[in-house]
């Protein structure tokens, strides 16, 4: 008879760049998901017992400590495996999204400073309109079914989408289930958090990058123990260890900021659907301007769709007009058409507020030497330096490089010859200050409004009408409800169309429609003026008509024949190296090894639009397949053929959103 083994072998996934789980030994079996401390080389690290079969042959080291923490649930472990498989990221890197470095090392606060749970779903919400109630009761049913389903809640701006989805949240809470609400920019969601509190009597738990380590740890634990009943979070909240998730809401599902562009490149909107499926829970995608992906899924019957076609309380949708800048141009060196200025004066005279939208931070996007034409660019990136005057510097928005404005042109040595070209929000603010010296104005951009507290302060000022004119980047587009705001001026409606990537038109329509939706949300009607040099462009026409479904139809007709998403699949390879020749060499080697299969096309290699980024030269290849062909096996087989030296970084971006 063989002697019984004294120890058990365990597979342990470590939150580092390894795809495989490592085998360790423990004195007794541990359930999968258990968090343990183990040796790794000369260090000790925290990992999780995983479901892979342990290797029976390798030499093992012992588990050092079993952490007193609820094991990661099976649905989360499967999710981590799934995300790794889909994005081609090592599973360890995906686990790291759950087990943030040091998360479990932070000592617990003595005093209980954080209180979770206690949302009261029995408190009455507002009385819903007939059409809102219809949508709400359908959502309550989905939540009550306690099984996987996907619903698109498609409602015009100000239709009460938030009120309606709070009803779904209430239903999940009545069933004692946990709820996750994903927002594109949690730091800017002060109004949403306040509404949540008004509805349920407590603030929800929040999850975003600005939490302190202690807040993180406490929240993580409360979610794992099921004490945190609602979590409102940024995309990374998808990786929290929910004990009993009963509903996921993805608000503003069309937002590109749900896509993480570095490390594990995942789209939180799409992964939310996967997470819900693995938890057998419903997921609700919410938008006034659904992405073509989601609209197509609804059209094909894969997702259910609920509509809220009118604004709440009889408010009309704002009137949209294009200002043809060829007919009514601004004065030279200025950017606001006289017609827009007149409209602003009228608005202010009525005691209402105006908002100017320009999705560009800083003073000017480009600085040019008048004498020789030299342009100031970043030494590390293929990008112009952006002038900022609030804190006077020229800076690179890609790598953070910054410098003083030089006195002399480094090229022709002319003195005092630099001129700013084009506007950023600071320059618009300067123009506004000249035109409206008496009016209080407020700039909202990520370099001026840095966190939730400042955003709350800004919102409070606007609501209290301490501000007449608001000038902002995309930060002002999202979700705000300012009852006295009736005029929105879009400074450059053509801006987003210039780059011309696959979704440029779609994203411009979504963003501008969203900004427009800030106008006239209460009694006074709203008006939106789009400054454009090309008002006949289909995107501007779609905005004017307000017929977004028709626009999506057009987009679909353009993308369908070439199998562009969502009618086909894309994956991008981004090769980068400090040594340009090496980047080229590997990119060419990849091109030679590219799959040659029917229904599969490889484009490139080509220099990336940002060909130099943080000192690295970048080349791109794009894999395009028919929808019925999965890209992951193709990518794996492809990448296995090319040896990539250590000095070269190869990023794989499945379902790319950015083509830069």
Residue 330 engages ligand ATP in binding (rule: CB under 6 A) = no
Instruction: Identify the residue among 177, 199, 312, 617 touching ligand ATP (CB under 6 A).
Output: 312
Q: List the Cα angle 207/210/213 in 5-degree steps.
A: 80
Measured from the CB atom, is 376 or 469 closer to Zn ion? 376
Measured from the CB atom, is 396 or 587 closer to Zn ion? 396
Q: Which residues contact 111 (CB under 8 A, 6 or more apart)?
A: none
Element (H, E) at 634: helix 631-640
Residue 479 engages ligand ATP in binding (rule: CB under 6 A) = yes
Strands 65-66 and 35-40, by their bridges, are antiparallel
Residue 381 engages Zn ion in binding (rule: CB under 5 A) = yes
The span from the CA of 507 to the CA of 495, in Å, is: 11
* Tokens read off for 385: 């330096």
The span from the CA of 154 to the CA of 465, in Å, is: 31
Report what 481 binds from Zn ion, ligand ATP, none; CB cut-off 5-8 Å by kind: ligand ATP
Instruction: Identify the residue among 11, 98, 132, 576 touching ligand ATP (CB under 6 A).
Output: 132
Residue 610 engages Zn ion in binding (rule: CB under 5 A) = no
Q: How deeply is 262 buried, as exposed, middle or buried, from its count of CB atoms within 10 A (0-12, 13-18, 19+)?
A: exposed
Q: Is 279 annotated as a binding residue?
A: no
Name the closest residue to ligand ATP (Cβ). 160
Residue 396 engages Zn ion in binding (rule: CB under 5 A) = yes
Measured from the CB atom, is 523 or 579 closer to ligand ATP? 523
The span from the CA of 494 to the CA of 532, in Å, is: 6
Binders of ligand ATP in range 489-518 (CB under 6 A): 517
Report what 396 binds from ligand ATP, Zn ion, none; CB cut-off 5-8 Å by kind: Zn ion
Q: Is 399 annotated as a binding residue?
A: yes
Residue 158 engages ligand ATP in binding (rule: CB under 6 A) = yes
Alpha-carbon distances of 323 from 511, 513, 529, 539, 545, rounded to whole Å: 18, 16, 6, 14, 15
Report what 228 binds from ligand ATP, Zn ion, none; CB cut-off 5-8 Å by kind: none
Least Cβ distance, residue 128 to ligand ATP (angstroms): 5
Least Cβ distance, residue 77 to ligand ATP (angstroms): 34
Query: Judged by CB under 6 A, how many residues of this single chain contact ligand ATP?
Result: 17
Stretch in the footprint of ligand ATP (CB under 6 A) among 155-163, 173-181, 366-374, 451-459: 155-163
Stretch in the footprint of Zn ion (CB under 5 A) among 307-315, 389-397, 498-506, 528-536: 389-397
The span from the CA of 255 to the CA of 260, in Å, is: 12
Q: Which residues contact 400 (CB under 8 A, 6 or more apart)?
A: none
Residue 11 engages ligand ATP in binding (rule: CB under 6 A) = no
Residue 398 engages Zn ion in binding (rule: CB under 5 A) = yes
Least Cβ distance, residue 131 to ligand ATP (angstroms): 10
Residue 126 engages ligand ATP in binding (rule: CB under 6 A) = yes
β-partners of residue 149 are 282
Residue 162 engages ligand ATP in binding (rule: CB under 6 A) = yes
Q: Which residues contact 412 (CB under 8 A, 6 or more apart)?
A: 369, 371, 372, 374
Q: Is 173 helix (H, G, I), strand (E, B) or coil?
A: helix
**Range list of β-strands (E), 473-543:** 485-490, 527-532
Q: Is 369 annotated as a binding residue?
A: yes
- The full 3-state SS of 558-621, as one line of letters, equals HHCCCCCCCCEEEEEEEEEECCHHHHHHHHHHHHHCCCCCCCEEEEEEEEEEEEEECCEEEEEE
Measured from the CB atom, is 75 or 353 closer to ligand ATP? 353
Asked if 352 contacts 439 with a C-beta cutoff of 8 angstroms, the reply is: no
Residue 486 engages ligand ATP in binding (rule: CB under 6 A) = no
Measured from the CB atom, is 380 or 439 closer to Zn ion? 380
Measured from the CB atom, is 385 or 652 closer to Zn ion? 385
Residue 175 engages Zn ion in binding (rule: CB under 5 A) = no
Report what 399 binds from ligand ATP, Zn ion, none; CB cut-off 5-8 Å by kind: Zn ion
Task: Identify the DSSP state of 190.
Answer: H
β-partners of residue 251 are 286
Residue 254 engages ligand ATP in binding (rule: CB under 6 A) = no
Residue 386 engages Zn ion in binding (rule: CB under 5 A) = no
Query: Judged by CB under 5 A, how many residues of this single chain contact Zn ion?
Result: 7
Least Cβ distance, residue 220 to ligand ATP (angstroms): 29
Instruction: Identify the residue among 49, 88, 288, 368 touching ligand ATP (CB under 6 A).
Output: 288
The string over 584-609, giving b where at least 16 C-beta atoms fall within 10 Å of a residue's C-beta and e elsewhere, is bbbbeebbeebbeeeebbbebbebbe
Measured from the CB atom, is 371 or 380 closer to Zn ion? 380
Q: What are phi and psi of 257, to 5 degrees?
A: -70, -5
Alpha helices by DSSP H, listed for 279-382, are 292-299, 338-349
Q: What are phi and psi of 149, to 5 degrees?
A: -160, 155
x/- binding map, residues 380-409, to ligand ATP, per CB under 6 A? ------------------------------
Least Cβ distance, residue 198 to ligand ATP (angstroms): 9
The span from the CA of 482 to the CA of 465, in Å, is: 9
Asked if 254 contacts 143 with a C-beta cutoff of 8 angstroms, the reply is: no
Instruction: Identify the residue among 129, 359, 473, 486 touching ligand ATP (CB under 6 A).
Output: 129
Residue 163 engages ligand ATP in binding (rule: CB under 6 A) = yes
Least Cβ distance, residue 185 to ligand ATP (angstroms): 13
Question: Residues marked as binding for Zn(2+)?
Answer: 369, 372, 378, 381, 396, 399, 409, 412
Residues that bind ligand ATP (CB under 6 A): 126, 128-129, 132, 155, 157-163, 288, 312, 479, 481, 517
Residues that bind Zn ion (CB under 5 A): 378, 380-381, 396, 398-399, 401
Question: Residues marked as binding?
Answer: 369, 372, 378, 381, 396, 399, 409, 412
């Amino acid at each position: 008879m063989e002697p019984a083994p004294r120890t058990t072998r365990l597979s342990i996934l470590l939150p580092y760049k390894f795809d495989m789980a490592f085998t360790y030994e423990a004195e007794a079996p541990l359930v999968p998901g258990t968090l343990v401390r183990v040796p790794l080389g000369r260090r000790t690290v925290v990992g999780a017992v995983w479901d892979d079969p342990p290797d029976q042959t390798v030499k093992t080291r012992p588990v050092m400590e079993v952490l007193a923490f609820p094991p990661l649930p099976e649905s989360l472990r499967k999710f981590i495996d799934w995300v790794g498989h889909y994005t081609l990221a090592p599973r360890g890197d995906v686990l790291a999204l759950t087990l943030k470095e040091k998360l479990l090392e932070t000592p617990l606060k003595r005093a209980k400073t954080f209180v979770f749970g206690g949302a009261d779903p029995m408190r009455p919400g507002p009385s819903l309109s007939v059409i809102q109630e219809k949508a709400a009761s359908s959502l309550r049913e989905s939540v009550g079914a306690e099984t996987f389903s996907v619903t698109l809640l498609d409602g015009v701006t100000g239709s009460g989408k938030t009120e309606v989805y709070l009803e779904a949240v209430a239903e999940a809470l009545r069933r004692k289930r946990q709820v996750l609400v994903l927002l594109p920019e949690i730091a800017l969601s002060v109004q949403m958090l306040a509404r949540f509190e008004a509805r349920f009597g407590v603030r929800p738990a929040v999850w975003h990058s600005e939490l302190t380590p202690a807040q993180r740890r406490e929240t993580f634990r409360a979610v794992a123990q099921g004490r945190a009943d609602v979590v409102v979070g940024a995309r990374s909240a998808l990786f929290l260890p929910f004990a009993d998730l009963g509903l996921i809401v993805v608000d503003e599902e069309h937002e590109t900021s749900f896509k993480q562009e570095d490390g594990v490149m995942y789209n939180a909107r799409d992964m939310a659907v996967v997470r819900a499926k693995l938890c057998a829970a419903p997921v609700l995608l919410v938008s006034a301007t659904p992405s073509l992906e989601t609209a197509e899924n609804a059209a094909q019957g894969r997702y259910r769709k609920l509509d809220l076609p009118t604004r709440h309380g009889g408010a009309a949708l704002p009137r949209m007009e294009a200002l043809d800048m060829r007919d009514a141009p601004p004065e030279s060196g200025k950017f606001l058409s006289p017609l827009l200025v007149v409209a602003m004066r009228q608005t202010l005279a009525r005691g209402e507020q105006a908002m100017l939208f320009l999705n560009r931070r800083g003073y000017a996007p480009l600085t040019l030497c008048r004498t020789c034409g030299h342009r100031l660019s970043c030494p590390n990136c293929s990008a112009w330096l952006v002038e900022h005057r609030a804190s006077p510097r020229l800076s690179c928005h890609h790598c953070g490089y910054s410098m003083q404005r030089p006195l002399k042109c480094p090229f022709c040595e002319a003195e005092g010859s630099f001129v700013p070209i084009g506007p950023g929000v600071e320059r618009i603010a300067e123009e506004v200050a000249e035109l409206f010296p008496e009016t209080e104005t407020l700039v909202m951009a990520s370099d001026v409004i840095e966190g939730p507290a400042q955003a709350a302060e800004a919102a409070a000022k606007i609501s209290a009408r301490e501000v007449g004119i608001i000038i902002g980047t995309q930060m002002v587009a999202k979700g705000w409800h300012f009852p006295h705001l009736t005029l929105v001026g879009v400074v450059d409606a053509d801006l987003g169309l210039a780059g011309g990537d696959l979704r440029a038109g779609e994203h411009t329509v979504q963003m501008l429609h969203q900004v427009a939706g800030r106008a006239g949300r209460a009694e006074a009607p709203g008006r939106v003026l789009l400054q454009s040099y090309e008002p006949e462009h289909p995107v501007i026409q779609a905005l004017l008509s307000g017929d977004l479904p028709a626009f999506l139809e057009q987009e679909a007709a353009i993308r369908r024949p070439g199998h562009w998403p969502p009618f086909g699949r894309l994956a991008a390879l981004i090769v980068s190296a400090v040594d340009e020749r090496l980047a080229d060499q590997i990119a060419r080697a990849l091109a030679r090894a590219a799959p040659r299969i029917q229904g599969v096309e490889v484009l490139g290699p080509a220099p990336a639009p940002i060909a130099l980024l943080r000192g690295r030269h970048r080349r791109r290849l794009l894999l395009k397949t028919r929808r019925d062909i999965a890209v992951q096996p193709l990518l794996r087989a492809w990448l296995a053929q090319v040896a990539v030296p250590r000095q070269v970084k190869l990023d794989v971006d499945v379902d790319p959103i950015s083509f830069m």
